[in-house]
Amino acid sequence: MPDSSLPPPPPPPPLSHNDQRVVYDHSVGWGLGDAWAALGIFFIVSILVGLAIFGATRDTGLDGVWLPLAVGIPPVVQGVYVWYIADQKGRGVRLDFGFAFEPRDILLGAALTVAGFMSAGLVGALMLELFDSAPNAIVAELTEDSADGGGLTVWIILLAVLTAMVAPVVEELVFRGLWWSALEKRGMKPAWILVLTSLVFASVHLELERTPILFVLGLALGAGRLATGRIGPAVVAHAMINSIGMLFLLIEISNPGAVS
């Protein structure tokens, strides 16, 4: 019979500056259901925003202020939800989802960016060889349609900022944060978590032609969490990837004759 006079075991030590891996305890109440809910919220808000914009403009086109609103509102609402459940059901996004940064994340993020571009380039070249077409991002197509005849506008620049800075934070919180931690909490092995979260990340973009490219990018981003236990490197890499893509898009829109 255990000695009841013995003191209870001490709680896990706080994460140090050099070791910020997620450590779970029985107090966290979020789980895989919340991960699915985060995806559902994104799609529901996207539909509602789309209907609202269509009702306001009586047009299916996205021009002017409507373009950044349509692209920006759903991920912002989704990010607020993820932050809320971490705060209300757990111990916050840093402890539960690895939302922590270190100075070295800039170099780690740059390395992941290079790896992501190389992998995506190889997959894109293979798809071009097989299908004779180069897939393009939906956001890029919407932006080009919005700029048709009007060139670069403040709303397109705002969209570029949202895509480069806001979307990477939210998507990493969702996929390499909440989804990763929920699967890890269920006991899944890290290698399988990397594959599954990358697959979900690629699938929910609903861009069939770009799914293989998004999958390998997800693998590169997930490698940051796999190596450090944090999503800081993945956020930095994701922001770099999106920023480079939007920069080239803005250059093309502002000077369409410069890019064939």
pLDDT-based confidence at 234, cuts 50/70/90?
very high
Q: Is pLDDT above 90 for 105?
A: yes
104 against 28, higher pLDDT: 104
CA distance 73 to 145: 20
User: Encoding tokens for residue 43?
Assistant: 């799609």
Q: What is the pLDDT of residue 26?
A: 52
Residue 99 confidence class, pLDDT cut points 50, 70, 90: very high
The DSSP code for 12 is P
pLDDT tens for 5-15 read: 555 544 444 44
In percent, the amount of the chain with pLDDT more than 90 equals: 61
Q: How confident is the model at residue 122 (pLDDT cuts 50, 70, 90)?
A: very high
Please say whether the beta carbons of 91 and 27 come within 8 A: yes
The pTM assigned to this predicted structure is 0.86
Domain chopping of the chain, boundaries: 32-258
pLDDT bucket at 260, cuts 50 / 70 / 90? very low
Sign of the Cα torsion 134, 112, 20, 75 reads negative
pLDDT of residue 153: 85
Out of 65-69, 127-131, 148-152, least confident range = 148-152
Comparison of pLDDT for 258 and 251, the residue scoring more: 251
Taking alpha carbons only, the member of 247, 238, 68, 61 closest to residue 159 is: 68
